[in-house]
Structure 1
């Protein structure tokens, strides 16, 4: 319990000033000032002693886990419980970290209700950065019996504030992923290819390929037997996210933001795209997994499906931060080859605009492409266009900026040709349509039965 002097106490203390002037003007009235000070001190001590236990029966708790979306207004629930006679009103204070925006820092709550012992206070906050944060201590304050002090008490908290990616803008582009409507509106989709696993054996027919003959079964039966393949419905999809130093650049659509600490970065776009792709894979019945790497592999979630697995993916993503150093591809590709034995679709989200990073990536990716089907994606940086691009792409940039953008674009085009020769598809995607293009790539691979 900590008493804070109120305005009434300050006003009474100010009344001692005239007593001091009277004592100085008239020696016979010199006793007035000490008497006034003693009376005020005794009154204050009495008030504090009577109000010392005012907040002893009040408990303030926060929800153990509060989940928020970055940039979206949310609510933090505070639970107030009273074991005895409830207080008429209480003022609450919640000093949140700078990563949160709150309209008010204090709230006055009236604890009303006949026989009520539990009240819920909603605290509106907006998170500016992803991550996990510990909720700070809550402060409760009530006036003392005589109103000379504000009795304040601190209530420690161990609750967590978890801030997840903001998918609001992706909802308009991929609204069908967010609609739970069962099988209504589902269309038949043609699957191209015969798959890689056979379902059953049948007798050989004229025209069957020699590659489809099951030689062991044919030797046992004494006649040719052909394998009948099944269309593979469940496939493994892995998204590999680069959170090294280049992922800390601002995204193209937030390049003009003046808030450096909380501007949207390339990594933020990667995380958002990962959340959307995970929902798309779950909707299609595939298994989705995640790998995050920087100077070392920092996250690995084996491919699976279901609601619980989706929450596991979100928990692995929400506190992913940009590292200061470059990525280490030796450790990454060794890790993937050791952990992923089954052929899978591996989608990389990385920045290959740096020539040294692109050359290193080109040297290592061949080992992985021989076992898995690999797609590599980068976000198009502002101004990276060919010289003969449309006026809308060029904008109002100068000739030197256009030449520099053309050279960067040509370097990425040459990298695309080199990676395609190694069996890897490389694409440079627009920032605004990143999630949409990523889902389209995945659906195209699934329809072609490439895996």
Structure 2
């Protein structure tokens, strides 16, 4: 960041160096002492006059104006460029040092910037930011170091350039998914679309028989009319409903990398919402265990991705503990129609007494999928070589923790509950694959 005080420019150091040289000469030629004193007084007057004129008389707003161009929205953890356009309104060239006052929630690279602008011209500069927290970002001002009238000082000035933008969960993954889906290359993301030719839940069309079609697909009436084999083709059922139950409790604050478990969950929720809406399903959302609880009723149409973004972009996990039973009861009150309910949380073995009854309540009306995030640091601890007693204790504790966690999930599965225990980096792909598998199976 630039200093707030005026600082001497290069010409000032040249003058001081010349004055120091004269002072050294006066040691050997005392007759020049008077010349040195007069020179020092003149230089001091010039420097002070330049500082006063530039600071209190000339108005920097009459010389420099700045525009800031921000993206309308920024995905969390993704690099974006900010553009500044600096206008020199004077007829003289200006040399500036520029620093944009970005918010604390972002990391910036490429500041400050030095730029020279000819008279009555403008310059465009860019710097890069990476947002590390969702919500609203406010850029309040731009700080410049403007050369003084006689170019002996750099005068600090603040120009009020207020701009705002919002940081959303990483919607850049949607564009990547859409591109791969267009090219039928979803396997690059690890997404597996199980194609069962002609099979599904809803009748789609009649077509000529193809090798590999099942006998039960053949429409014998149509076949007899046209005197060739005709097959019925089906597609996966549409108009189904998916509701996310998002845990906003304290465990979701855990971090294994630059993003918290909560942010990983929002990214997965967003991409799966896009996939489900594109499949013709309705998507809804309910948060629980946080003070700021939100409800988004299931809606169809890909445009609702933006509405979901607006619902969750500024949501943060709280210090509360998850209350699964209350969340299940609230959902049953709010939504009556059968839906695929996806619980996004971070469970512990002590949650079993509350989690299992809550899911059992939901199962009476809905199909439930539990997706629980597992700390990657546990696996890293197991991979760490054992070199001393502390390492051995850590390894033993990690094995004990994972065993208890495994027992909890085995109990859920044994009670007929679909459950996923997944690391944050694999949540998105595993969740989409689970959804597609449920769709193709027709169990919803």
Give the TM-score taking structure 1 as reference length.
Answer: 0.71
> Residues of 1 paired with 2:74 and 2:177: CA distance?
23
> Residues of 2 paired with 1:415 and 1:281: CA distance?
29
Aligned to 1:151: 155
SS in structure 2 opposite 1:264? coil
Asked if residue 247 in structure 1 is aligned to residue 239 in structure 2, the reply is no
Shift of 1:157: 3.3
> Residues of 2 paired with 1:279 and 1:178: CA distance?
13
> Residues of 1 paired with 2:80 and 2:385: CA distance?
40
Aligned to 1:80: 86
How many residue pairs match? The answer is: 394
SS in structure 2 opposite 1:105? coil
Offset from partner CA, 1:218-272 (integer Å, 9 cap, x none): xxxxxxxxxxxx9741222122222321112233xx4xxxxxxxx3332232122
Aligned to 2:128: 124
> Residues of 1 paired with 2:91 and 2:39: CA distance?
37
Match of 1:110 among 116, 137, 157: 116
Q: How does 1:176-195 map to 2 (within 5 A)?
A: 177-179=178-180, 181=182, 192-193=200-201
Offset from partner CA, 1:169-219 (integer Å, 9 cap, x none): x68xx9654346399999776564579xxxxxxxxxxxxxxxxxxxxxxxx
Q: How does 1:271-350 map to 2 (within 5 A)?
A: 271-329=266-324, 331-350=326-345
> Residues of 2 paired with 1:304 and 1:131: CA distance?
24
Asked if residue 448 in structure 1 is aligned to residue 441 in structure 2, the reply is yes
Asked if residue 60 in structure 1 is aligned to residue 53 in structure 2, the reply is no
Offset from partner CA, 1:289-314 (integer Å, 9 cap, x none): 23333334533333334454212323
Shift of 1:68: 3.2
> Residues of 2 paired with 1:119 and 1:39: CA distance?
33
Aligned to 1:45: 49
Give the TM-score taking structure 2 as reference length.
Answer: 0.72
Shift of 1:138: 0.8
> Residues of 2 paired with 1:393 and 1:104: CA distance?
37
CA contact (8 A) 1:55 1:153 kept: no
Aligned to 1:199: none
> Residues of 2 paired with 1:155 and 1:379: CA distance?
46
Q: Structure 2: which 5+ runs fail to align?
A: 187-192, 204-234, 387-391
- Report the aligned-residue RMSD: 4.3
Shift of 1:36: 3.8
Larger fraction in helix: 2
